[in-house]
A and B are shown apart, each in its own frame.
Chain A
Amino acid sequence: MKLGKVIGTVVSTHKLEAFRGVKFLIVQPLDENLKPDGEPLVATDSQQSGPGMLVTYVGGREATLLLPEKFNPTDATITSVVDEVDRS
């Protein structure tokens, strides 16, 4: 699981059946200091997250387990909306 910031949304009407009703968000991956780290990616949403929110996301096969249709080809899904990262 990694930290990211939602920086946008993607609208796609014509898509695979497995993605019906699924929201796509653009996520900027962050490093442990919450600084941008690497290229933005498109993630599916399992929470009610939106632009501006700090989130955790999971990649790999685990990402697919969070969508309503389990047999889907997503490679990143948001798992939580972060309230606070405590590094004190």
Chain B
Amino acid sequence: MKIGKVIGTVVSTLKIKEYEGEKLLLVKLLDPDGSPASDYVVAFDRVQAGKGDHILLIDEGNGARQVLQAGPEGAVRAVCVGYIDSIDLAPPRPRSFGG
């Protein structure tokens, strides 16, 4: 799973059937420390996320088809599956140089 921040929504009229009635979110991917990564993704929403929310997302077809109940031929990949309250990062390990 990946960590992301919702930065907008994508609105389409002409679309595949899997997109019908779904909200598509524009999600910027984040590094674990919260800084923006280089990539982004357009994702379905399963946690009622809104702009500015930090979310967990999957970007993989089989998981997405399960969550969205899309059937074996659903062309879906990215889904927001969790809402992130906080992230705790362990402090970096002290390096030892030899000895």
Binding site for B on A (CB under 8 A): 1-3, 31-32, 46-49, 56, 58, 60-63, 65-66, 70, 77, 79-88
Contact = CB atoms under 8 A, between A and B. Distances in A.
Contact of B16 (A2, A79, A87): A79
Contacts of A49: 14
B11 A65 contact: no
Interface residues of B, number: 26
Of all A-B residue pairs in the complex, the 8 with the closest CB atoms, nearest first, are: A80-B15, A87-B8, A80-B12, A1-B42, A81-B14, A32-B40, A62-B75, A84-B11
Nearest to A31: B40
11 contacts: A1-B42, A2-B40, A46-B16, A47-B16, A56-B10, A58-B77, A62-B76, A81-B12, A81-B14, A86-B9, A87-B7
Given A1-B43, A1-B78, A32-B40, A85 B8 contact: yes
A83 B13 contact: yes
B11 A32 contact: no
Binding site secondary structure of chain B:
strand
Contacts of B24: 1, 56
B73 interface: yes
B9 A66 contact: no
Given A1-B77, A85-B26, A80 B14 contact: yes
Nearest to B60: A60
A84 B14 CA distance: 12
B83 interface: no
B73 A65 contact: yes
